[in-house]
Structure 1
Amino acid sequence: MQDRSYSVPIEDEIKHKNNESGPDGLDQKIDPDSSISEELAKSRETAGTVTQADKKDKGSRLERTSRQNLKTEECLRMLQRLKAEFDNYRKRVRKEHSEIYDYVRGDVFRMLLPVIDDLERLLNSESSEQSLREGIGIIYKNLMTTLQSHGLESFTDEGNAFDPNVHEAVSVEETEAQMDGKIVDTWLKGYRYKGRLLRPAKVKVGQKNR
């Protein structure tokens, strides 16, 4: 069956051309079926070209989408690996810190073992009150020597100006003007470890008479 959408204008054109004579005075006849076939072929060719372009564009979009999906999956896998590595690093650091603390505590206990030995010997001995005091004095001296050799220091600061950063005032005593605002007595020693304050000294502060 022929496509009639092309037949009317084409047939009119064919009739018009068939009524004309060629340059040689010969009549030129045009086959209507041949002209219609050519027009249909051109129409199909144009439609085919558009269809191929659409397919190519669709293929390009699918390819771009596929590449983007691959990049997204790769980034996700990378983030998962980084998270796993960070978790492992955090666990390893926590374990190392715990081992360091245990090691330091072990060293502190090791330093105190001689003091414990001296106390046990003193408790097991039959000694007078005077010898007991002397024994305790020796133990205290040995303990402080051991701790000071590792950076511990005590301070009292009698006669120095009161400093709220390292002193804690527990009482006030009326004194002469030259001792106003200065430490008169120490109730409890303060301690530092390698320059870091461990405990402020509890002191009595002088205040001049009104």
Structure 2
Amino acid sequence: MAKKDEQKQPETTEELIPEETVEAPQEEPKAAEAEKPETDPFEEKYNAEHDSLLRLAAEYDNFRKRTVKEKEQSYGNGKADAIVKLLPIYDNLERALNQPTEDAAYKKGVELTMNELVKIFTGLGVEIFGAAGDSFDPNLHNAVMHTEDESLGENVIAQVFQKGFKVGDKIVRFAMVQVAN
């Protein structure tokens, strides 16, 4: 038990930390505070108002740009919706052209109507795609059938069931095709 008494436990924090490592908090010189230039309250108010006006101008500019972008998108969406409504007419005219008929006047009338519709589509910026012999692109074509044909290459469209349409970068209708090999 005498050994426990010899190992005296420190009672204060000063005994735990050696004296040379204890540092007193240093006060910063008050001269640095005196060197700050005094700001004019009118200048502060001017800077605050100027900053708020700059922020307001930036918000208005962002609003204007966003409104123009939304207007362009709504016009494009409206145009695409109108084209989707006209596609059944295109399909019916195409079927009528593919039907054999002996009436030349009837056939000529359907051809003129089809040519006028294609001209209108072209004027609206509609691109018609999906022809036999083109290479298959899953971003543009919907493959509904597959065939083995050695005369055609790999991933080549063998037959087109429905043409595809796009306005700019927006696909209005995917082309329905049969892919070879």
How does the TM-score come out when normalised to structure 1?
0.44
Larger radius of gyration: 1
How does the TM-score come out when normalised to structure 2?
0.49
Higher relative contact order (CA 8 A, sep 6+): 2
